[in-house]
Amino acid sequence: MRALVLALSLCVGCARRASPPEPSRAASAPALVAPSAPPFEPAAPAIPRLRRVDDAVEAALARGDAPGAVVLVRRAGETLHERAYGRVSERPWPAPMPVDAIFDLASLTKPLATALSVMVLVEDGKLALTDRVDAHLPEARGREVGAATVEQLLTHTSGLPADDAMKPGDELDPVAAVLRARLVARPGERFVYSDLGFVLLAKLIERRAERPLPNVLRRVTSPMGLRDLGFVPDAAQRARAAPTTLVDGAWRRGEVHDPRAARQGGVAGHAGLFGTARDVAAVAEMLLAGGVYRGTRVLREASVRELLRPRPVSPGGLRALGWDVDTGYTHQRGKRFGRGFGHTGFTGTSVWVDPETATVIVVLTSRLHPDGKGDVRRLRAEIADAVAETVLAPTAEAGVDALLAADLAPVRGLRVALLTHDAARTKEGVTTREALARSGEITLVRLFAPEHGLSGAAEGKRADARDGATGLPVISLYGDKRAPSDADLADVDALLVDLVDVGARSFTYASTLADAMVAARRAHKRVVVLDRPNPLGGAVEGPLLDDDRRSFVAPARVPSRHGLTLGELGGLLGDERGVPRPEVVRARGWRRADGYWKTRLPWHRPSPNLTSAASALLYPGVALLENTNVSVGRGTDAPFLVVGAPWVDGARLARALAAQGHPGVGFEPALFTPRAATFAGHACGGVRVRVDDPAAVRPVRVGLGIALALSELAPSTFEPKGVAVLLGSQRVQALLQRRAPWSELVGALAADERAFEASRAPYLLYQ
């Protein structure tokens, strides 16, 4: 992951009210005078999909969510969208919003100013993240918060409350006010978003640096040439500032809204920073570049990595130093962006950074103006989703899209039956059955549905039905029969198959395909598979199936994770069953190295518990535990991403798994209560599996590692025999039963994986 941190800068006006700024550490940067900002590329021609940003902002302004906004979207150094909307002010007079309007950034101060200043002092050797507060603030000795560390303050895990009532004199001694606060949790125990922690950090920074906070910030922003990002705007900057609320008969314009920061002269660790959209984006891009901005080194790469490293916080969230990564506050990333970092501000400001696509989204509003009733939470999410639609546009297409692009040439004019479900969709999101029914190029006669039914949400056997979308009859192949009958195929020319398989041997859609191929051969009908990328990529992992263990959940002698598309697997299944291989309409733009995370295709669940691509990624391994006496998260919001039981000590299990050295994942202690399946309604201890690098994850090893760790930690309680049901290998099961060394277990898997990679070569259709 690219390094990412946001920097903050001090405005020239602020420099005049403090001691002279420190020389920049960058050799090419001037020592005392901030240069003019480098040219900023103009916005690229409008991207059709980004017109949804305009629609979202205009709708928000019409609702009264804010009087105006500036939205800036940058990707890999290119401006995709930059526009000002509405008015910068309604009162005392209306004025149009300029693109360079200056906003009260509110809590963006925390990551953009305070966190970066801490890293400056860390680089200078004046501070360590593990330092206790009372090591540098003698007045904190004997106080509850004195035991908290700098890192805990930055991640809101110090135990300080979110805020407290201000008393007379607090503006003169804000640290004393914070030190009076009673902790709501022990340091490090849980996440409580706290302004007070950053008030304390500002004092700690100034004490260690022996100069005001704005001067420390200049160490970051001066070499970047940012002139508007800073505290206490000067007169010219105030004229471009968006006003917030009316205080004592005067509009606050260029004066901090936050009362605690206002009582500290406008300079505080939690609020007080002002800046433009371009300023915020520039700092984000510096972080994406590992601490370099336009060729100038601003922060060390190691500092940026440490700054942005996600830290687990309880309950079930992730924070970086000053940055939000994944908590209940992360609404500004929308529904499609994954792991990144960002922050929001009370006044209506936000930034989100997606490292995978090097995308920065800055949304600045003054939603408190004029009456304090604006709310831009919906707007932030809508803008993120509109941007994601463009920058996360799919890089691959399914076979159905290729078929439609060819005007259905391979089956044009035929009467066909279709084996499918709701998860099978075109790139526009239309179900395959609806797209084919509307095409006019074929006659769609009937539908077949696999396990979980046409909806993909059903459990257990299903009866025949009728499809509400197309009006066609639906024949269940997971009810009284597992394959089409001769009568089902008598009046069609071909059987089309479009199913979202997940690349795991135990997923039953492969068995349904194999049985359907045999039935079609018996009825002398063509079988055409509309292929799709394998969601897990082309990697091979796990033991080969023993010949005597074939079943409906183990239809072929392949590893647990076979790395084949359904079209490729159909060729192997055909050879094993002595029937012709299916015709395959290939997916386009997919390579074997690409998992679902690379295709950027939207995820549509193919079964009730594969609710996300992350759940599908872990499924081949964690599902091995389903027939043991632990829950694998069925009936929770994270199926196959949490594992546990009432008797599991999550902290011990997390440590044991970390010691095994699984790449691409982390393990966090977790408490959860499944609503279904094993231990339904019972509180379970265990671990949550955190996916950090999908391409590196080896899910089968994760599943077996959990089984081995539980065998060692709870030998008299855990029942590993159940792993054999889906593992399919007596040899590997025996190693697990005798608690063989982890290296021996991995060696056994590797031998089978090499053998299968050689034997599958004749079936591969993609590079």
What does the DSSP assignment read for 563-574? Answer: ---HHHHHHHHH
166 and 223: one domain? yes
- In this model, does residue 324 exceed pLDDT 90? yes
Domain count, the chain: 3
290 and 439: one domain? no
631 and 722: one domain? yes
Last residue of a domain, one of 599, 633, 660: 599
- In this model, does residue 18 exceed pLDDT 80? no
Does any domain span residue 634?
Answer: yes
Which of 26-40, 175-189, 629-643, 663-677 shows the lowest per-residue confidence on average (mean pLDDT)? 26-40
Looking up residue 442, the CATH number of its domain turns out to be: 3.40.50.12170
68 and 201: one domain? yes
424 and 326: one domain? no
48 and 70: one domain? yes
Highest mean predicted confidence (pLDDT) among 46-55, 163-172, 587-596: 587-596
Does any domain span residue 739?
Answer: no
Which of 517, 514, 506 has the alpha carbon at shortest distance from 554? 506
Tell me the residue length of the chain: 767
167 and 312: one domain? yes
pLDDT digits 0-9 by tens, 644-697: 999 999 999 999 999 999 999 989 999 999 999 999 999 999 999 988 888 899
640 and 717: one domain? yes
pLDDT digits 0-9 by tens, 57-86: 999 999 999 999 999 999 988 899 999 999
Measured distance CA(679)–CA(675) in Å, rounded:
8
Q: In terms of DSSP bridges, do strands 473-476 and 494-498 run parallel, antiparallel, or are they unpaired?
A: unpaired
Q: pLDDT at position 167, please?
A: 58
Measured distance CA(220)–CA(102) in Å, rounded:
20
Q: pLDDT at position 5, please?
A: 30
383 and 274: one domain? yes
248 and 210: one domain? yes
Q: Which domain holds residue 374?
A: 12-391
pLDDT digits 0-9 by tens, 177-223: 888 889 999 999 999 999 999 999 999 999 999 999 999 999 999 99
pLDDT category at 49 given cuts 50, 70, 90 is: low
pLDDT digits 0-9 by tens, 388-433: 988 888 889 999 999 999 999 999 999 999 999 999 999 889 999 9
Q: pLDDT at position 26, please?
A: 34
Average pLDDT over residues 82-107: 94
Looking up residue 632, the CATH number of its domain turns out to be: 3.90.1150.140
Q: pLDDT at position 41, please?
A: 55
320 and 219: one domain? yes
- In this model, does residue 1 exceed pLDDT 70? no
pLDDT category at 104 given cuts 50, 70, 90 is: very high
Measured distance CA(625)–CA(702) in Å, rounded:
11
Q: pLDDT at position 601, please?
A: 86
Average pLDDT over residues 15-44: 36
- In this model, does residue 30 exceed pLDDT 80? no
Q: pLDDT at position 37, please?
A: 45
pLDDT digits 0-9 by tens, 433-471: 999 999 999 999 999 999 999 999 998 999 999 999 999
Q: What is the pTM of this model?
A: 0.67
Does any domain span residue 445?
Answer: yes
- In this model, does residue 367 exceed pLDDT 90? yes
Q: In terms of DSSP bridges, do strands 443-449 and 415-420 run parallel, antiparallel, or are they unpaired?
A: parallel
Measured distance CA(515)–CA(489) in Å, rounded:
13
306 burial level (CB within 10 Å; 0-12, 13-18, 19+):
middle
543 and 494: one domain? yes
The DSSP-derived string for 199-247 is HHHHHHHHHHHTS-HHHHHHHHHGGGT-SS-EES--HHHHHTBPP--EE
Last residue of a domain, one of 391, 423, 441: 391
Q: How far is CA 41 from CA 153, 508, 562, in A?
A: 37, 52, 47
Looking up residue 228, the CATH number of its domain turns out to be: 3.40.710.10
pLDDT category at 600 given cuts 50, 70, 90 is: confident
Q: pLDDT at position 14, please?
A: 32
Q: pLDDT at position 33, please?
A: 27
**Residue-wise over 294-304: b if at least 16 C-beta within 10 A, else e?**
bebbbbbeebb
Average pLDDT, the chain: 90
Does any domain span residue 763?
Answer: no
Higher pLDDT, 203 or 339: 203
Q: pLDDT at position 598, please?
A: 84
Among left, alpha and beta (phi > 0; psi -120 to 50; other), residue 556 is beta
Measured distance CA(17)–CA(232) in Å, rounded:
9
Last residue of a domain, one of 599, 627, 657: 599
pLDDT digits 0-9 by tens, 739-759: 899 999 999 999 999 999 999
- In this model, does residue 715 exceed pLDDT 60? yes
Does any domain span residue 2?
Answer: no
- In this model, does residue 47 exceed pLDDT 70? no
Average pLDDT over residues 556-573: 96
Structure tokens at 93: 């007079």
Residues of the chain above pLDDT 70, percent: 92
Measured distance CA(270)–CA(299) in Å, rounded:
22
Structure tokens at 413: 């004019």
Does any domain span residue 126?
Answer: yes
- In this model, does residue 2 exceed pLDDT 60? no
Does any domain span residue 292?
Answer: yes
Does any domain span residue 407?
Answer: no
Q: pLDDT at position 27, please?
A: 32
Q: pLDDT at position 25, please?
A: 33
- In this model, does residue 164 exceed pLDDT 70? no
Q: Is-contact 231 150, C-beta < 8 A?
A: no
Q: pLDDT at position 237, please?
A: 96
Measured distance CA(353)–CA(335) in Å, rounded:
14
Average pLDDT over residues 571-596: 95
